[in-house]
Amino acid sequence: MRVWLAQMRTGLVEPCVLAALRGGEAYGYQILQRLGAAESLGISESTVYPVLARLAADKLVRVREAPSPNGPARRYYRLTSLGEARLAEMVASWRQVESVMNGLLKEAKNG
């Protein structure tokens, strides 16, 4: 994978996961399914699960275990207030980046 793409993807996993949890509590596989739209970014379980573990360690998400009908207990993740604040911060930054990029692309197209 090209370096710039890997870096962009790495930077986007955390906001994508936090944004997926804005829809409510979910377990790992459910979060992956919610992120189905982000498949083009190459976000899969090997990126999402470690990020979830890190977010839990940083107290940005809260974890609750509940029995699963298919085997071991599922770990349900929920945004904490700290996580919501981090997501708001990320969304604001994203809007700025998006605006700058759109401006630059528009200039390039017109120029």
Partner 1 sequence: MAESARNPDAERRINEHLEAIDKELAAKGVPLTERRSVTGDVEAQIRDMLAGNAGNTPTAADVETILRKLDAPESYAEDAEAAPVAAASLTAPTEPPRLSRTALIGAAWGALLFVTLAIGLGTSYQGTVAGMPLCLRILTIALLTSYVSAPFGATILGWVAISQIRRSGGRLYGMGMALATSLFYPLLALDAVMAISIWLPVAAIATWFSPNINAHPLKYLFIAFDLVSAAAVCAFVDYRIIRWVWRKVNFAKNGATTVAAG
Interacting residues with partner 1 (CB under 8 A): 6-7, 10-11, 13-14, 27-29, 32, 44-47, 49-54, 56-57, 63, 68-75
For residue 19, the minimal CB distance to partner 1 (Å) is 16
Closest CA to 19 of 38, 39, 47: 38
**Between 20 and 52, CB nearer to partner 1:** 52
For residue 94, the minimal CB distance to partner 1 (Å) is 14
For residue 108, the minimal CB distance to partner 1 (Å) is 27
SS3 77: strand
Helices 81-110 and 3-21: crossing angle, nearest 10°?
A: 130
Please, are residues 59 and 80 in contact by the beta-carbon 8 Å criterion? yes
For residue 111, the minimal CB distance to partner 1 (Å) is 32
**Between 46 and 110, CB nearer to partner 1:** 46
Calpha distance 20→38 (Å, rounded): 10
